[in-house]
Amino acid sequence: MPTQALLTTSELNEINHKVISSLDELTLKTLQKNTEELIKSKIAEQALKEGDKVKNFALTNSKNEEIKFTDLLSKNKPIVMTFYRGNWCPYCNAELRGFQRELPEMKALGAEVIAISPQKPVMSLEMQEQHQLDFDVLSDVGNLVAKDFGLVFKLDAELLDLYNNKFQVKLCEYNGNEAVDELPIPATYIISEEGEILKASINPDYSKRFDPEAIVEFLETL
């Protein structure tokens, strides 16, 4: 593995620098305040973690096919599962491109990869096609699975106004009417063939992710 800085992490840092540089002071303070409040809420500590078992679920992929967690387990392979916010999020785009870049290595190590967001299947398809993703992108409409993982938070009125009006990110258009004021915090899990969480990376700071290169390094230890 490379000894230099992890590529996706470097890309995320560059994106974050550009985003921060482009925002006015009031907007930046609002976003930073929200992240600080999420950290203080201890949502990451309360989410599923190493040693927990994942409950069965069924979600639709970008082709409107039902994907069951039990079917993934039946392949007797470790599962790499990442929760992302949506294809409107530049950090999520960089993360999933990183997953695609490392996908051959992950598959060579026997892993199944899935990405989950609250977006409608049509938006998942857009994400998959835009970044030429060769793994399933699943639609968790209403954040039902993300809630089981303990990852969901509600956007307050100030933050929702920023998304809807300043950023023109209207969650109802991406997620439908089931999740217009809530999002999952980004999280990545590595799950055993028995459904037990072996590794959990959960961060209320959406600019920080479990780098896919680091995931490969963890898979190599299994």
Q: What is the pLDDT of residue 4?
A: 62
* Segment 56-65 mean pLDDT: 94
When divided into structural domains, the chain yields a total of 1
User: Looking at the domain assignment, is residue 1 inside a domain?
Assistant: no
Q: Per the domain annotation, does 91 fall within a domain?
A: yes
Q: Report pLDDT digits (tens) over 34-56.
A: 999 999 999 999 999 999 999 99
Q: Which of 176, 191, 109, 165 is nearest to 140 (CA)?
A: 176
Its domain, for residue 112, covers 7-219
Quick: pLDDT tens for 10-33: 999 999 999 999 999 999 999 999
Average the pLDDT over 44-73 and give the result. Answer: 96
Residue 175 near residue 141 (C-beta atoms within 8 A):
yes
Residue 138, in any domain of the structure: yes
Kindly state the tokens that stand for 37. 């409040």
Give Cα separations from 55 to 38, 115, 216 (angstroms). Answer: 25, 17, 25
In a domain, 71, yes or no: yes
pLDDT digits (tens, 9 = 90+) for 117-160: 999 999 999 999 999 999 999 999 999 999 999 999 999 999 99
| pTM as predicted | 0.95
Residue 184 lies in a domain: yes
Q: Does residue 174 sit within a domain?
A: yes
- Average pLDDT (202-206) is 96
pLDDT surpasses 90 at 1: no
Strand 79-83 to strand 112-117: parallel, antiparallel, or no bridges (unpaired)?
Answer: parallel
CATH number at residue 67: 3.40.30.10
